[in-house]
Amino acid sequence: MNNDVFAMEKVRLVVVDDEALIRERFRYAYPLEEYGYEIVGEAEDGEEALALCLQTNPDIVITDIVMPRMDGLELTEKLRTAMPRVKVIILSSFQEFEFARKAVSLGALGYLLKVTSGYQELLAILEKARKEIEGDRESMLAAIEERKHLLDSRPLLRKQLLLDIKNGAIEDAGKLNAQCDFVRWHRPAQRFSLGIVNIDRYDEFSRTFHDKDIALFRYALMSMIEEIADKYGPCNVFPWEHNNIGLWIQHPEGDGERLDSLAREISQSVRQYLPFSVSIRLSSIHKLGSSPQQWTLGFKDAYAELEVLLTAQFYGSQGGMHLYSTPASPDANGANETLALPDPAPLLAELSYDAQLPRLIRDIYVDPMRRSSTSPDYVRDWCRGLAKRWTAGDPQAQQRLKQIGANGLETIQDVEEFLMGLFAWKRSDRGLAFDQPVQRAEIQKALDYVSVHYRNPISVAEVSEHIAMSPNYFSHLFKVQTGINFSEYVTRFRIEMSKQLLVDTELQVHDIAERTGIPDYKYFARIFRRLVGMTPSQYRKEQMETSLEK
């Protein structure tokens, strides 16, 4: 199996320490993103960290030992139970050395001494964690692939059977039972409900893994759901759309209480064993009836309820469970199709400070959407239409806006983040072209610094010190002025330099990666392909062929 498949684009970190200075040191003093690490959250104690991990699904947790409420040892133990695939690295002082050793015995990967351990020691243990994570995923995918070879065409036949029932194509009960037997399904009970299990952040998930591995993960998810559902009674599982799995749950005795327990166990098991979370929608319980017409009506009603719950899922949070209940009014569980949203351009022009952007977005757009339960499709269309209108005729700007989430608006939180990036770019009054000048002299000075020092590690703290600005304000101002964050700019600059070396020299690709400041070859190749659309070798070949044609 090709190991490049398992080289992750970004390894997700959570940093846990009750000292803000320690947390800031990891975020600003070390250029971790250059090596493929992304800090997705910070916490002050173990209790907060555990909740954050369940929400953000990290790969690695770096935690202090002595903290209020829940210490690092208890956090390590709880993560081993709840999320065993997460790697834990302990931060300790000399006095806490025995605690650090105990943490390793509880499952922590290793430890760093707060005072004496430097950047290289941190990179070394992070690289060890990355290799273990990639090894775990490779082993898991190999096991899944071995089982998948045993599959036949049953999943597609099962989906078709559901569609046939919904569309009235099954003529009698005998044929329905025979079809269920053929695809090895439970025969239908007189009471049933339908469910959909959605893979969260599927757009990001599909960019991180190869298509073949995504298919394996979907198979693993379906197998896991089947195994769990069997404990709760008859349940037929089938592939539905590319990012979800369907459930046909039988209720022989009309017991609906198990739905909540079933959904909860599926959600917890996925978090525990797979590199993503899921959101679950379940219809109410319906009567199957005795005639094809009654079957069709029952299935259409249950399916319509699942569609209604899309709105609850959109305005909820990732990993949520949504059970349909009989609405008190026609729109109680549903969505308003439209909402009059004001043109943002004049509102942005009136703002005095960029710091007012988050409140503008919440007060004028996000909160009204949430209060009126505006149709998710309407919200997505409005966001994409606005972005398309503002970037018309500028392909580079359109590509940049895709990177801040135009294709992955699964929840209202995604919408808020997307609008923040879009409005910040619009307010900067400039395109997203890579080489356009910026308005602020400090940011231009930072860009000049990158052009000189890009071969070496560059951190936000280093550059902000160079231009005499706080790291937080520099990061904010840089994104407002350029439309992208600082680490993304540095990465793109390095890829631009590597493209020149690929054309102008005969250096090996791994040498070019090192010379442009990305010493991890796997990470370099993955980023190059994401940004350029082909591998470094393919790019070199294409440029050579173009040159010969001229």
438 vs 417, higher pLDDT: 417
Ordered by where they begin, the domains of the chain are 3-147 (3.40.50.2300), 154-323 (3.30.70.1230), 344-410 (no CATH), 441-549 (1.10.10.60)
433 vs 354, higher pLDDT: 354
Mean pLDDT, residues 29-57 taken together: 88
pLDDT given for residue 1 in this prediction: 41
Is the pLDDT score of 249 beyond 80?
Answer: yes
Q: Output the six-digit token pair for 398.
A: 């359109």
Is the pLDDT score of 332 beyond 60?
Answer: no
- Nearest CA to 226 out of 214, 239, 213 is that of 239
Instruction: Pick the range with the lowest mean pLDDT from 44-53, 86-95, 427-436, 456-465.
Output: 427-436
Inter-CA distances, 325 with 259, 322, 332, Å: 12, 9, 9
Q: Output the six-digit token pair for 169.
A: 């194509």
Is the pLDDT score of 49 beyond 70?
Answer: yes
pLDDT given for residue 6 in this prediction: 42
pLDDT given for residue 363 in this prediction: 93
Distance CA 384, CA 418 (A): 10
pLDDT given for residue 94 in this prediction: 60
pLDDT digits (tens, 9 = 90+) for 68-82: 889 888 998 899 888
Distance CA 312, CA 185 (A): 30
pLDDT given for residue 121 in this prediction: 86
Mean pLDDT, residues 121-146 taken together: 84
Q: What is the largest CA-CA distance in the chain?
A: 79
Instruction: Pick the range with the lowest mean pLDDT from 46-55, 256-265, 296-305, 347-356.
Output: 347-356
Is the pLDDT score of 538 beyond 50?
Answer: yes
DSSP string, 248-291: EEE-TT---THHHHHHHHHHHHHHHHSSS-EEEEE---EE--SS
Average pLDDT, the chain: 81
Q: Are 167 and 189 in contact (CB under 8 A)?
A: no
- To which H or E segment does residue 41 belong? strand 37-43
Mean pLDDT, residues 533-543 taken together: 86
pLDDT digits (tens, 9 = 90+) for 517-534: 988 888 888 888 878 878
Q: Are 125 and 112 in contact (CB under 8 A)?
A: yes
**pLDDT-based confidence at 512, cuts 50/70/90?**
very high
Is the pLDDT score of 328 beyond 50?
Answer: no
pLDDT given for residue 356 in this prediction: 79
Contacts of 468 (CB under 8 A, 6+ apart): 442
Contacts of 389 (CB under 8 A, 6+ apart): none
What's the whole-model pTM score?
A: 0.54
